[in-house]
Amino acid sequence: MDFVAEGLKFTVQGVDWEYHEKAYLMLHKPAGYECSQKPSTYPSIYTLLPAPIRQRGGGAAAGVQAVGRLDQDTTGLLLLSDDGKFIHRMSSPKHHVPKVYDVTAKHPVDDQQVQKLLAGVVLDDDPKPVRAAACEKTGEQTLRLTLTEGKYHQVKRMIAAVGNRVEDVAGLHRSRIGSLDLPADLKPGQWRWLTAQDLAAIAGAPRV
């Protein structure tokens, strides 16, 4: 007898689970967690996930992996999956998936800084300028920055390159990937499965 396994509900040790052939998750990453299986200083984001998610598939490469990384003090939307093709597509700069960051700066943000970020700034490891796909002031010391590539500490380095700096505490928050917003009701440290609509919002992300 044939049946559709996807979405099948079952119980493991008294806990209700839903079967998914591939795992696609979102996590509201809190501050003070590292995106690493072997963290050096802070606890791992993977400790926020239940064991059946962490151990999916078995073997050396078991479990889900973060799609890209957020610094330990950066909060916000993080995707995780055990689908290698999905991880590559979302991480590759060739696909230009826009990611939106809400930034709180140490000093007041002025229009000149915004224009420099849009025009492009040179970072110390690459002579080719990197630019924000979009940037707008949202307050005296806050701005919203959209990037389509993911260099090491890119937001912090870009803000430093225009003569400012990201506030040390709660200064950087990723609020959107593609057209997918971090849900207001998903609290720091909480996770949930991505829906078909969520995946469509990512896959259909416009090139900025």
Closest CA to 52 of 43, 60, 64, 61: 64
Among the options 71, 73, 83, 110, which is catalytic? Answer: 71
Query: Kind and range of the H or E element at 87?
Result: helix 84-91
Provide Rg for the chain, Cα atoms: 19
Is the separation of the CB atoms in 80 and 35 below 8 Å?
Answer: no
Kindly tell me the sign of the dihedral angle through the C-alpha atoms of 23, 44, 202, 91.
negative
Would you call 36 helix, strand, or coil by DSSP? Answer: coil
Is the separation of the CB atoms in 207 and 37 below 8 Å?
Answer: no
Is 71 among the catalytic positions? yes
Q: Which residues are catalytic?
A: 71
